[in-house]
Structure 1
Amino acid sequence: MKLSAVLLFGPWVTTASLVKRGDLAPAATTTDSAAVASATRISAQNATSTNLAPYNGNSSAYYLGYRGEDFQRPFAKYWNPTIAPLFDEFLNGLVASPWANALAYIAHEAHDYFTRPGYDTLENGFTITENGTVVIAVRSEIPQMTGESFDWWFAWHQTEAARYKLWNPVAHAYVWRVPERESSKISIGFIQPETLGFNQTSWPALGIETIVMGHILIGSKSILCIGARDWLIPT
């Protein structure tokens, strides 16, 4: 599976992913199914998966890596702190950045760019638009990934730090963020791809397996604000 992630930074942040199905759901089967059922809350309106544990102001409670009881979790066998090196295509695109701002686009144009045949000119690297919006693109090849597993992961990993750390063992410490000296809750509110104009009926012919899309919310910002400039769109 080709995974292309595009980030558009503005006053808001949003996440999106492209595969065969647009709907997010928790895992159908898992060795920790009871925990998934109790810890993952998906609202009918906006499919928001949130960490149910209260924020702990004691920063010493959060740490990189796995310790003690973390290794007793049923999914601990997937813990692997050895990170693959950055691939050449990404490094070359980064060195060539910033790319021409004519290659940038706003989030509401993503449905056009992502459904074009072949690859875009900007698949790896970043550019800055005339209005100051930063567009970052990264393309990864993940042959083991399917659209179904991609959908499942985005619902499953957010409910607790031990799961979140599996994503990036050397960078992800907890599902709460402490920006500078202020503590804020960060959550991802998943929304339907149609919100940004994607047409699911065209995906099979284009080889698209799924789209995962959502706003990354900080503090009390509303999930319903979809006109902002900040988006993360993995496809």
Structure 2
Amino acid sequence: MKDLKTELTFEEQKKTYSKYFYKPLAIPNPELIDILKLGPMDPAKVLMPENINELLDSPYHEIETGYCVLPNGTAYVAVNNKFPGVTVAMINWWFAWHALEDMRYMLWFRKGHYGVSISDEDRAIILDPETKMLQKFQGRTHYVIEDAGGGPEDIQISFLTPEELGFDMDRFKSPAVGTVIGANGISSRRAGGPKSPAIMTHFVREISGGVEFRSRFWLGYHMVDKKPVKIIPDGMQIPIQVAMDLAFHNVQEFSNLASILPSLYEEMEGKIF
């Protein structure tokens, strides 16, 4: 088990982008925090994973930010984060770039991100200049150490293509969508306990002045052969605290990423190395 890493090494400190690790964290979007403080949403207003194509249908759903536990014991989290000054190209670049070293993942949100690793095979694919940007994260697996509010977890994030997430690819085009960051996740709390499955989808589209992340998490599910499958046993229920913690963490980490990404991308000139 990899140790928790909370400080940069001397070699990391010498890199130009280490300054983003030391910057004061951005204030979490207060509008979203206030919504989450109202408590759980109505489960009847959840977008179920088998209806993922509804993200392509309408400008917004009735509830874009909220969390709850569902009658079948699974849980749901939705958050709509805004990224002013950010482009779709920056988002695709970020999800390829940050996997290559701990510091890149840590500067995203140093209060809860402790490390990232990938296989040698995935590293070679990411670093290959012939690999298209989307393929530098779609099909790749990130192994991260993260605290989303309930203590540090080891999380395996296996990124999927939009088609694997169940999207109708005949309708998957701008302006309805710019890019999608989606994955099956499996987490294990370092303090012990069962492994927790989840589907993650960040549905990214252009808005005036930037992009927005319409994030959806279905806790207790995995995508299998392009269809959502409830993984947790019948009778088991995901605690509401888990969904609430994830919702607040999502606002915190993406508020900070939104604050640093435009200048970081410009500084790195959109390069992966």
Structure 2 counterpart of 1:212, from 175, 181, 186 = 181
TM superposition shift of 1:149: 1.6
TM superposition shift of 1:201: 4.2
Q: Which runs of 5+ in 2 are unaligned?
A: 117-143, 189-195, 204-273
Structure 2 counterpart of 1:177, from 131, 136, 145 = 145
**TM norm structure 2:** 0.53
TM superposition shift of 1:229: 6.7
1:133 aligns with 2:71: no
Cα distance in 2 for residues equivalent to 1:229 and 1:111: 21
TM superposition shift of 1:74: 4.3
Q: Kindly provide the CA deviation profile for residues 151-207 of structure 1, in whole angstroms up to 9, marking residues without a partner as x.
A: 12112212321111121122212225399xxx9863322211112321344344544
Q: Is the 8 A contact 1:81 1:170 kept in 2?
A: no
- Structure 2 equivalent of residue 14 of structure 1: none
Q: Which runs of 5+ in 1 are unaligned?
A: 1-54, 220-227
Q: Is the 8 A contact 2:41 2:66 kept in 1?
A: yes
Cα distance in 2 for residues equivalent to 1:147 and 1:230: 24
C-alpha spacing 1:164/1:187, structure 2 compared with 1 (3 Å): same
TM superposition shift of 1:80: 4.2
Cα distance in 2 for residues equivalent to 1:132 and 1:72: 47
- Structure 2 equivalent of residue 234 of structure 1: 202
Specify which structure has the higher proportion of strand: 2
Alignment of 1:1-235 (within 5 A): 56=2, 59=3, 62-112=4-54, 114-175=55-116, 176-177=144-145, 186-218=155-187, 230-235=198-203
Determine helix, strand or coil for the equivalent of 1:230. Answer: strand
Q: Which amino acid in 2 is paired with 1:230?
A: A
Q: Which amino acid in 2 is paired with 1:127?
A: C
**TM norm structure 1:** 0.60
Report the identity percentage: 24
Of structures 1 and 2, the one scoring higher in RCO (CA 8 A, sep 6+) is 1
| Number of residues of Structure 1 aligned to a counterpart in Structure 2 | 165
Q: Which amino acid in 2 is paired with 1:177?
A: I
C-alpha spacing 1:203/1:193, structure 2 compared with 1 (3 Å): closer
C-alpha spacing 1:99/1:118, structure 2 compared with 1 (3 Å): same
Cα distance in 2 for residues equivalent to 1:93 and 1:215: 27
Cα distance in 2 for residues equivalent to 1:156 and 1:174: 14
